[in-house]
């Protein structure tokens, strides 16, 4: 897309003085150093999360299921930084194991959803005509069912276990990726190099797979990364409702669910920390994905994250 020439005065940056005498600038983006700080802190958190998830379970020889009834519901202390739950299990360890399960479910679901979405979007755009219309109309139709409700329905039909949760999240999240990929393929299709490939005698299949799909991958990858927090959120919601993973398996959702009875007795820490383990990685992933998007498409820099 070529940049449109400025059509009004509003496109030229002008500094205004507001009533309070403070300057109001047209382009309101954070300074370079603020952005760099954001990217680096996000990267640090994501690295820490990935390391914790990959390294702690095999290296640290601690049993997260170990029950110490004498130590039940201890508030956060040096020995147990997040406190202990109602049967005396260390919550920091439970949270790391929970994050491991949630992240695994989130990543697998996001990958499956992205593959489905990319395939459907590319198929629609490359086929054109009635296939495109029918497929995209179906995407519209299924976008009007609330994700969680459709997810609950799918889980109810296929449960119990981890895979029904993954399938449920994947099947409800590919719709937006299909839209993004279709739009991207349509815009790429009018590029000269596609015309060159077609006049060189490339088949429709070859043009799609060798020339269009590689061009779409950055956008699809970005959508996949942004989908991981959504998928984790979705998994935790299902687990909280008692429809996701089995209760004994620590995931961030089941941790919050099993903390409910302790909370009603006045102990806040079993509820607080698993929630923080959802929020902080979500913000970090969104921060990194935002930086990546700025690199792909600087014009959208001021738009909303997530």
Partner 1 sequence: MTSAPEKAAVAAAAEAAGQGRRRLPWGPMARLVGRRAVFAVPVLLTVTFGVFAVAAASPFDPVKAYAGTAGLTASQENLDQLRANLGVDKPLVSRWWDWLTSALQGDLGDSSTLRQPVADAIGERIGWSVLLAATAFVLAILVGSALGVLAARRPGGWLDRGVTSLAYTLEAAPPFWLGLLAVWLFALKLGALPAGGLTDTSSTAVTAAQVTNHLVLPAAVLAVSQLPWFVLYVRQGVGDALGDDAVRGARARGLAERTVLLKHAFRSGMLPVLTLVGSRVPELITGALLVETVFSWPGIAAATVQAATSVDFPLLAALTALATVAVLLGNLLADLLYGLADPRVGFDG
For partner 1, the closer CB: 40 or 153 = 153
Binding partner 1 (rule: CB under 8 A), the pick from 1, 9, 70, 78 is: 9
Q: Are 229 and 277 in contact (CB under 8 A)?
A: no
Residue 7 phi/psi, 5-degree rounding, is -100, -15
16 contributes a contact to partner 1 by CB under 8 A:
yes
Q: Could you say whether residue 131 binds partner 1 (CB under 8 A)?
A: no
Within 226-265, the residues that bind partner 1 by CB under 8 A are: 229, 233, 236-237, 240-243, 256, 259-260, 263-264
Nearest distance, CB of residue 304 and partner 1, angstroms: 5
Q: Are 278 and 233 in contact (CB under 8 A)?
A: yes
CB atoms near residue 29 (< 10 Å): 11
Residue 214 interacting with partner 1 (CB under 8 A)? no
| Residue 117 makes contact with partner 1 by CB under 8 A | no
Confirm or reject binding of residue 292 to partner 1 (CB under 8 A).
no
Cis peptide before 160 (omega within 30 of 0): yes
Q: Which is nearer to partner 1, 31 or 199 (CB)?
A: 31
Q: Considering the complex, what minimum distance in angstroms separates the CB of residue 51 from partner 1?
A: 21
* DSSP codes, the chain: -PPPPP-SGGGS--EEE-TTS-EEESS----HHHHHHHHHHHHHHHHHHHHHHHHHHHHS---TT---GGGTTPPS-SSSTT-B-TT--BHHHHHHHHHHHHHHHHHHHHHHHHHHHHHHHHHHHHH-HHHHHHHHHHHHHHHTS-HHHHHHHHHHHH-SSHHHHHHHHHHHHHHHHHHHHHHHHHHHHTSHHHHHHHHTT--HHHIIIIIIHHHHHHHHHHHHHHHHHHHHHHHHHHHHTTSSS-TTS--HHHHHHHHHHHHHTT--HHHHHHHHHHHHHHHHHHHHHHHHHHHH-GGGTTS---
Among 1, 15, 19, 78, binds partner 1 (CB under 8 A): 19
Is there binding between residue 40 and partner 1 (CB under 8 A)? no
Contact call for residue 2 and partner 1 (CB under 8 A): no
Identity of the residue, 33 or 199, whose beta carbon is nearer to partner 1 in the bound complex: 33
Interacting positions 132-191 with partner 1 (CB under 8 A) = 138, 141-142, 144-150, 152-158
Is residue 282 at the binding interface for partner 1, with CB under 8 A as the rule?
A: yes
Instruction: Pick between residue 55 and residue 156 the one whose CB is nearest to partner 1.
Output: 156
Contact between 15 and partner 1 per CB under 8 A:
no
Interface with partner 1 (CB under 8 A), residue from 25, 50, 55, 217: 25
**CB of 14 or CB of 196, closer to partner 1:** 14
4 binding partner 1? (CB under 8 A): no
In the complex, which residues of this chain contact partner 1 (CB under 8 A)? 8-10, 14, 16, 18-20, 22, 24-26, 28, 30, 138, 141-142, 144-150, 152-158, 229, 233, 236-237, 240-243, 256, 259-260, 263-264, 266, 268, 271-272, 274-275, 278-279, 282-283, 286, 302-306
């Amino acid at each position: 897309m070529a940049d449109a020439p400025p059509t009004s005065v509003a496109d030229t940056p002008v500094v205004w003085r507001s009533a309070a005498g403070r300057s109001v600038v047209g382009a309101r983006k954070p300074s370079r150093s603020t952005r760099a700080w954001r990217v680096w802190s996000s990267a640090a958190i994501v690295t820490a999360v990935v390391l914790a998830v990959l390294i702690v379970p095999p290296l640290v020889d601690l049993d997260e299921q170990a029950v110490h009834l004498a130590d039940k519901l201890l508030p956060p202390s040096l020995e147990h930084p997040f406190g202990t739950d109602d049967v005396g299990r260390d919550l920091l360890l439970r949270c790391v194991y929970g994050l491991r399960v949630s992240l695994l479910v989130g990543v697998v679901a996001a990958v499956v959803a992205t593959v489905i979405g990319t395939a459907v979007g590319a198929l629609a755009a490359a086929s054109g005509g009635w296939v495109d219309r029918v497929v995209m109309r179906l995407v519209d139709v299924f976008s009007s069912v609330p994700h969680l409700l459709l997810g609950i329905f799918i889980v109810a039909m296929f449960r119990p276990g981890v895979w029904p949760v993954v399938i449920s999240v994947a099947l409800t999240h590919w719709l937006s990726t299909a839209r993004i990929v279709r739009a991207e393929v349509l815009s790429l299709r009018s590029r000269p190099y596609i015309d060159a490939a077609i006049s060189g005698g490339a088949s429709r299949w070859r043009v799609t797979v060798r020339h269009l799909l590689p061009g779409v991958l950055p956008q699809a990858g970005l959508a996949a990364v942004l989908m991981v927090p959504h998928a984790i959120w979705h998994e935790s919601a299902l687990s909280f409702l008692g429809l996701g993973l089995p209760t004994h398996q620590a995931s961030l959702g089941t941790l919050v669910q099993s903390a409910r009875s302790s909370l009603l007795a006045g102990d806040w820490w079993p509820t607080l920390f698993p929630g923080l383990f959802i929020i902080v990685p979500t913000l970090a992933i969104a921060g990194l994905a935002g930086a990546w998007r700025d690199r792909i498409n600087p014009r959208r820099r001021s738009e909303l994250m997530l």
